[in-house]
Structure 1
Amino acid sequence: MVVAVVAGLVAALGVVWGQLPAFAAGVTASFVRVSDWGSGWEGRYTITNGGSTAVSSWSLVFDLPAGTSVGSYWDALLSSSGQRFTFSNRSWNGLIAPGGSVSFGFLASGSGSPVGCLLNGQACGGGTGPTGSPTATPTASASPTVSPTTPPPTTPPPTTPPPVGGLPKHALIGYLHASFANGSGYLRMADVPAEWDIINLAFGEPTSVTSGDIRFQLCPVSECPSVETEAEFIAAIRAKQQQGKKVLISIGGQNGQVQLTTTAARDAFVRSVGAIIDRYGLDGLDIDFEGHSLSLNTGDTDFKNPTTPVIVNLISAVRTLKQRYGADFVLTMAPETFFVQLGYQYYGSGPWGGQDPRAGSYLPVIHALRNDITVLHVQDYNSGPIMGLDNQYHTMGGADFHIAMTDMLLAGFPVAGNTANVFPPLRPDQVAFGTPASTSAGNGYVAPPGVQAAVNCLVRGASCGGYAPRSGTSPGFRGLMTWSINWDRYYGWEFKNNHEPFLNALP
C-alpha cells in the first residue's frame, strides 16, 4: 500500500522513470519464457549487475506486438502506454550489489514476445530486444486447467456469523497512517471522523524479515510535527471504542515483509503482536502481508493441507491470538489479488514447477481461519488483469473488476482449475473489497458511482453490466475498505462522504 503513495507522488510531480541516470556498464537484463500454454505465457526478466558499483534503482521498458498484453505481474511496478510496458523496481529490490541480480515476472495473453528492451534507456544486453533464450515450454498438460465450460461451484456458504459486537451490517473500513510520514499528511486519532467503523493502524513491522518480532510506534515528531503523545493516542482510541468503532493493528504493508519460517518466529509474533494489542487496548489484528511474506514451497499443492512453514506458522500464530482474546477479537485481512483470485488459474509453483510460488498463497491462510475471519477485504488495486468465474480477464479501474473479484469469494472457485479442489465460499458478512480513496492513493481508483454500482450488483443484483454474479445476491455484504483515511481527508473526504450514507441505506 505504501508504494501506491510513492507512485502517486511521482505521478503528481511529473517525474518519469526515463530520467533516472543510466546504469554503469555491465548491468544487463535477460528474458525467459517460463511457461507457455498457447493463448498466453509467463515471462521473467532477470537484471544482473556485472559492474563494480552497486545499482540503486532500475527501469525496464519493452514493446509487445498488437494482440499481446501484460496481465498480472510481480516484484515490480508497471505503467503502460499502448503496447509499450515499463517495469520499475519496488522498494525492496531496487538495490543490486555488484555480482547480484533481481528478477520480476508477469503473465501475458497472446503469442507475441517482448521486443526493443531498454534498461534505463540502454539496450538490455547489447541488442534491441530481450536477451536470453526462451526456456522449453511445458507439455500441453502443464497449461492452466481452467476450462470455459467449468461450472461455477454451488456450495452454499454457512449462514451463522460469529459474534462480533459493535460492527454495523455494512461497514466503512480504512487505514490510518500512524507510524510514518506520508504525502497526504499526518492525521491524529482524535481527528478521525466518526463514520469510520474499522480503523487499521498502519503499520506494525518486524525487526527483521524472519524474526517474527513486530514493533509499532507513533510517527516520530521529526517526521510528523503534529503527532499526538502516546497517552493522547490511547485516549482517542478509547473514545472511538466507546462509539462502537474497532481499532486494529495492521501488520506488514509494502515495506513490512514478515516470514514466519520457524516456530521461534511464530512464538515471537504472538508475543509481540499481543504486546501491541495490550499496550494500546486494541480490538484485533489486520494481516496485510505483501511482497514476499507468503509463498508456497515446491510440492505444497493442497490449500486445505498446507505444509510450507511460513503458511503453517502464520495460521498457528493467528489462532493462538484469537484464542487468547476470545470471540470479540476482530480479524481482518487485506491480500492483493495475486495472492487470492489468481489462485483460480495458478497455485504456488505448480505441479511442474516454474510458476511464481506466491500465486494464491493466501488461500490456505484464509481457508484455515475462515471461522475466525471478521472481514476479508482484498485490495482491488495495484493489480494486473485477473480471470474471473466467467473465464474472462477483468481489469482494475471499474465496477466490473470489483464485481468479478468479489464474486469469486462469495461463490468459491476451483483452485488452479481443479474442480476436485474447490475453495469454498465465504459468508457475505465476511466479505468487503478495497479500493483507493483517490487517484494518488493507488492504481485502480474508481469514482464513487462505479464503486456503488459494484455494491448494488453484489447486494441487489442491479447495475451488474455484463457480469452476472455466480453467487447471486448477497445482502449481507460487509462493506468497503480504502487506502487510506489520510488520502481521503487530503481529497476532501470524497470516499467517506459518498459511501458511508450509501452503505447505511443498503438493506
Structure 2
Amino acid sequence: MDRAPRPHRSPRSLLLRKSWIGVATALVAAGAASLTAMATNASAADINVAKNAGFESGLTGWTCTGGTGSVVTSPVHGGSSALKGAASSSDNAQCSQTVAVQPNSTYTMSGWVQGNYVYLGASGTGTTDVSTWTPGATGWTQLSTSFKTGASTKSVTIYTHGWYGQGAYYADDITVSGPDGGGGTDPTPTPTASTSNPSTPTPTPTPTPTPSSTVTPPAGSVPKHAVTGYWQNFNNGATVQKISDVPSAYDIIAVSFADATTTPGAVSFTLDSAGLNGYTVAQFKADIAAKQAAGKSVVISIGGQNGTISVSDSASATNFANSVYSLMQTYGFNGVDIDLENGLNSTYMSQALKSLASKAGSGFVLTMAPQTIDMQSTSGEYFKTALAVKDILTVVNMQYYNSGSMLGCDGKVYSQGSVDFLTALACIQLEGGLAPSQVGIGVPASTSGAGSGYVSPSVVNAALDCLAKGTSCGSFKPSKTYPGLRGAMTWSTNWDASSGNAWSNAVGPHVHALP
C-alpha cells in the first residue's frame, strides 16, 4: 500500500527474501522426610505480598498516575474501602505498587473489579510480564493471572488500570500469593457482604484464584465474515480521517504504518497530528477504545510500499516482537498487520510473530497483505510465513492490484480487474493450505487508491459469491465452494471516504450476509 498521492505507483520489487528454559529445582531429602511434606510446607509458606491490598489504609503503598486514584466507601467488595480510578480520554488511571518477591518463584495474582475495560497485571517479572482484563463488569468480577519471576528478580510492579475514555473503574482485595520476598504481608482482608451477592447476610470468602490467559488491550471480536480497511496516518490527497470517522462496516482497522527504527527489526509509530488536522494522541487512543467497545479490532500495520523492516535473525525477531508489543500496550492495538512489500524471511518473521502472540495472549489479531506475486506458490517466503503461523493467523488479504497478469490455481493466466482474477488467485491460497476463514480479497477502494487493478464493488461481491456459494462466477469456477471465506479488504478507508464510502456501503453488507 502506498503513501504517495495517486495516480502514481513506483515499481515493486519481486525479490522474495526474506523457553521458557526450565530451571531445575534441587530437592534435598533429609532423612525419611517425604516430598509430599515438603510440598505441603512450601504451600503453607505462601503469603500475600501486596500491601494495603484492600485499600483500608487509603492509598498507602500505591501510586496512581496523574492523581487519578482515590479511595471510596461504596462500592466495596470487602472491608470498608475500595479503589476508584478516574480514567479519562488522556489517562487510563493506572495505580501500581512494587512488591517484594523471591527469584525463580511462581505467584498467583487476583483482584476484584468493576467497570469497563479494567486491567490487572504485573511488570518487571524478569520473565514474561502478564495482564488480564474484563471488557465490562457492572458488579464485582474477579480477575486472575499468574507469573514467574526471573533468576535475579527481587521486586515486581503490580498494577490495575482502566481504559481511555471508558470512565471510572473500581478495584478491591488485591492478592499476589507466593513466597515471602522479605516484605512480609498484611492480614488478608475478610470480605463483608458483597455487593455482587447482596442476598448473603454473612461474609463471602474470596474464591481461590485460577490462572488465566495473559492479554493486552481489549480484543474486538472478529466476525465470521469480516471487512478490513487500512486507515492512513498521513495525508496523500485522500480524505483525512480520525479513527472515529471510519464507518461501522469495517470490522478490522489497520493503522498505516509503523516505521523502522535504527535497531534491527524494531518498529515505532508516531501519530501524524499535524498532517491529520491536529488529531491528538489522546483522541486517537480514545477512538481506538471506542471502536473496540463496539466490537471492532484495530491493528498496527507494518511496512507498506515504502516500509523496509528487516527481520533476518533471532535478535531482530526479538526486537520486532518486543517493539510491536510495546505499541500494542501504548495505543491499545489488538494486534499487527504484516504488509512488507520488499521481501521477508519466513524463518525469523514466523519466530517474531509467534513470540508476539505469546505476549499478547488469546485476543491477538494477526492479518497480512501480501502482493499477488508473494502468494503464487507455497514455496514463496510470504506464503511459507502464513502457513508457519496458521495457528495464530486471522486473515490474509492479498492485494489483487498493481500486479498485471498472474497465474490462477488452474495454471491459466488471468488479467487483473476481472472476477476471474480474484477467484482464480484466491483459489491458490484456499488450496495451498490456508483455511477459508484465513482468506480475504484485497482491492482498492477507488481508482485513486492504486495504480491499476481497481474493480467495482459489484465485481468484488461477485467474486465473494463465486468462492462462497458457487454463483456469479466468470469463466473460472472453483471445484468446490468455501462458505467460510473471511471477506474483503480495501486500501483505504480514506480513499473510500473520498468516494462517499461507496465501497464499504456496497461490499460491507454483502460480506456480512455471506453464508
- The bucket for the TM-score relative to the shorter chain is 0.5 to 0.7
Query: Residues 220 and 292 of structure 2 are in contact (CA less than 8 Å); yes or no, is this contact kept in structure 1?
Result: no
Gaps in structure 2 of 5+ consecutive residues? 16-218
1:209-358 → structure 2 map (5 Å cutoff): 211-221=264-274, 223-224=275-276, 226-291=277-342, 293-294=343-344, 310-341=345-376, 343=377, 347=379
1:346-379 deviations in Å (ceiling 9; x for gaps): x5xxxxxxxxxxxx22122011101110111111
Instruction: Kindly provide the CA deviation profile for residues 46-97 of structure 1, in whole angstroms up to 9, marking residues without a partner as x.
Output: xxxxxxxxxxx9x9xxxxxxxxxxxx9748xxxxxxxxxxxxxxxxxxxxxx
- CA RMSD in angstroms, aligned pairs only: 2.0
Select the residue among 170, 191, 205 that pairs with 2:245.
191
CA shift, 1:483, in A, is 0.3
What secondary structure, in the 3-state scheme, does the structure 2 residue paired with 1:362 have? helix
**Residues in 1 aligned to 2:489 and 2:259: alpha-carbon distance in whole angstroms:** 21
Q: Which residue of 1 aligns with 2:468?
A: 459
Structure 2 partner of 1:362? 382
Per-residue CA deviation, residues 270-316 of structure 1 (Å, 9 max, x unaligned), is 1211110100111111111112x32xxxxxxxxxxxxxxx3321111
1:445 aligned residue? 454
Structure 2 partner of 1:481 = 489
Counterparts of 1:109-258 in structure 2 under 5 Å?
166-178=221-233, 180-208=234-262, 211-221=264-274, 223-224=275-276, 226-258=277-309
Return 380-389 or 258-267, whichever deviates more: 258-267
- Shift of residue 267, structure 1, vs aligned partner: 1.6
Residues 402-452 of structure 1: CA deviation (Å, up to 9, x unaligned): 10111111122xxxxxxxxxxxx2111111110000001011000011111
Instruction: Spell out the pairing of 1:67-146 with structure 2 (5 A cutoff).
Output: 74=14
Mapped partners of 2:305, 2:332: distance in 1: 25
Query: TM-score scaled to structure 2, two decimals?
Result: 0.58
The one-letter code matched in structure 2 to 1:2 is D
CA drift of 1:321 comes to 0.8
Distance 2:220 2:282 in 1: 26
CA shift for structure 1 position 185: 3.2
Off by >4 Å, runs of 4+ in structure 1: none
Contact 1:252 1:288 in 2 (8 A): yes
Matched, 1:426 2:441: no
- Aligned counterparts of 1:269 and 1:428: Cα–Cα separation in 2: 28
Superposition deviation, residue 503 in structure 1: 1.7
Contact 1:174–1:199 (8 Å) recurs in 2: yes
**Does the 8 A contact of 1:176 with 1:201 survive in 2?**
yes
1:403 equivalent in alignment to 2:423: yes
1:9 alignment partner in structure 2: 7
Question: Counterpart amino acid of 1:338?
Answer: I
Aligned counterparts of 1:251 and 1:437: Cα–Cα separation in 2: 20
Alignment check: 8 A CA contact 2:322 2:356 kept? no
| Amino acid in the other structure paired with 1:236 | D
State the distance in 1 between where 2:253 and 2:457 align: 20
1:322-344 Cα shifts (integer Å, max 9, x gaps): 11112220000000011112x27
Percent identity, aligned pairs only, is 41
Deviation, structure 1 residue 9: 3.3
1:503 alignment counterpart: 511
